[in-house]
Amino acid sequence: MTETRSEDHTGETRGGRKRIVLLAVSIGLLLIGAALIAYPFLPRIKYALLKPEPQFPYQSRLIDENPELASLPETAFKPVPEDNRLVIPKIGVDVAIVEGADQNALNRGIWHIPDTSNPTLGGNTVLSGHRFQYLPPSSQTLYLLDKLETHDDIIIYWEGKEYDYKVTGRDIILPTQVEILENTSNAQLTLFTCTPLFTTSKRLVIFSEQVS
């Protein structure tokens, strides 16, 4: 009888250890899964909590308007880029503007919509970009575009020159509302991406006017 009880006790001990190990593994997998799901949203939480300073990767006239940067020498910033680029200091965007006949161009950068204007011509320059393509934070996508507000700065470097814009408004539209592509008498930038985040059901549009 004593031997039987000993064997039963040993079996129960092993079974208990096995259950503990399985429970620990399950909890670990749940935590990993939760972390992977939460990771894409962390930049939004970080932005809301820390309110990061605007980022100016290149020399810009707007640097003189920022007291924390105005005293820095020009060498602290990279020269004006030779390629066409979109820079949004408030949300850390710095991405190449690319040409292309269709939306496949979005996989290479910010797409300059065909048959719309450009900064040198005035009128309505229209750009579109992915909201989420790389794990954020990424300077290559418009993940935080919804954080832009009236009077925020947008910079386009085009053919070696700087063109500055101020946000004037925003809208949420359906993909079929292509009137945002129409030319305008004033020099403006229309920038759009998908919304809500991780969907393609609608478009978030940011309007801005050229100020220099």
| pLDDT one digit per residue (tens) for the chain, 212 residues | 555 555 555 656 666 777 787 877 878 777 766 655 666 667 777 777 777 888 999 999 999 888 778 788 878 899 999 999 999 999 999 999 999 999 999 999 999 999 999 999 999 999 999 988 766 668 999 999 999 999 999 999 999 999 999 999 999 999 999 999 999 999 999 999 999 988 899 999 999 999 98
Q: Which pLDDT score is estimated for 211?
A: 96
> In which region does residue 201 sit, left (phi positive, over 0), alpha (psi from -120 to 50) or beta (all else)?
alpha
- Of 95, 96, 210, 118, nearest to 164 (Cα)? 210
The three-state secondary structure class of 129 is coil
Whether residue 45 lies inside any domain: the answer is no
Number of domains in the chain: 2
pLDDT confidence of residue 36: 57
Q: What is the CATH number of the domain that holds 203?
A: 2.40.260.10
Q: Which of 184, 77, 187 is nearest to 121 (CA)?
A: 187
35, two tokens:
């972390």
- Domain match, 79 and 25 both: no
Q: Are residues 13 and 63 in the same domain?
A: no
CA 45 to chain centre: 14
Residue 44 is assigned to a structural domain of this protein: no
Residue 168 is assigned to a structural domain of this protein? yes
Q: Are residues 17 and 60 in the same domain?
A: no
Residues 77 and 177 in one domain: yes
- Say if residue 121 is in the same domain as residue 80: yes
Alpha helix (H) residue ranges in the chain: 2-38, 42-50, 67-70
pLDDT of residue 124: 98
- Same domain for 148 and 95: yes
Transcribe 135-187 into DSSP letters.
SSS-TTS-TTGGG--TT-EEEEEETTEEEEEEEEEEEEE-TT-GGGGS--SS-
* 61 and 27 part of one domain: no
Domain residues for 159?
Answer: 54-210
Are 32 and 64 in a shared domain?
no
- Asked if residue 47 is part of any domain, the answer here is no
Dihedral-angle region of residue 76 (phi above 0 means left; psi in -120 to 50 means alpha; beta otherwise): alpha
